[in-house]
């Protein structure tokens, strides 16, 4: 998978998650008892993250002089996106284990499903990043 595809997939997942949380955080609070303000902060954070990822992907897709300059910036930000996804997976796993007496079985299922998706997206972004860097290095090598 190409980097822009992985970024778009993560943008779609994060944006969809933000909408689902906005619509259903009252029900989620039953399974994963976080205060309402935390659910709203997660929702807003996911929406902003989704926008950032979409902008990064569109910069890679667009073929213009502006986008070519932005490509190096996207490649500088991509590792931090992968790290953020890994932190999300590890953090939510650790917190769910610390508060295991308060999280329902369905809550653990939701957390696990989200973590599988986020972890998979992190892996795809990492692979896309590596492939993109290799492609750029090959283009930069002089041909004789």
User: pLDDT tens digits for 69-121?
Assistant: 667 888 899 999 999 999 999 999 999 999 999 999 999 999 999 999 999 99
**67 pLDDT above the threshold of 90:** no
DSSP state letter for 135: H
**Residue 11 belongs to some domain of the structure:** yes
Residue 72 domain boundaries: 3-134
**Residue 67 belongs to some domain of the structure:** yes
How many structural domains is the chain composed of? 1
**Residue 104 belongs to some domain of the structure:** yes
**Residue 34 belongs to some domain of the structure:** yes
Per-residue confidence (pLDDT) for residue 4, from 0 to 100: 94
DSSP string, 42-97: HHHHHHHHHHHHHHHHHHHH--SHHHHHHHHHHHHHHHHHHHHHHHHHHHHHHHHH
**144 pLDDT above the threshold of 60:** no
**Residue 139 belongs to some domain of the structure:** no
Give residue 42's pLDDT band: very low, low, confident or very high (50, 70, 90).
Answer: very high
């Amino acid at each position: 998978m190409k980097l822009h595809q992985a970024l778009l997939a993560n943008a779609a997942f994060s944006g969809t998650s933000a909408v689902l949380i906005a619509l259903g955080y009252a029900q989620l609070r039953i399974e994963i008892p976080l205060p309402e303000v935390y659910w709203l902060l997660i929702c807003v954070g996911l929406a902003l993250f989704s926008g950032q990822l979409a902008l990064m992907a569109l910069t890679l897709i667009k073929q213009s002089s502006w986008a070519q300059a932005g490509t190096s910036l996207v490649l500088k930000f991509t590792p931090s996106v992968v790290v953020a996804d890994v932190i999300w997976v590890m953090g939510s796993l650790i917190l769910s284990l610390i508060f295991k007496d308060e999280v329902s079985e369905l809550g653990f299922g939701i957390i696990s499903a989200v973590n599988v998706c986020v972890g998979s997206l992190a892996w795809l972004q990492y692979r896309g990043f590596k492939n993109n860097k290799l492609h750029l290095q090959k283009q930069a090598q002089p041909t004789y």
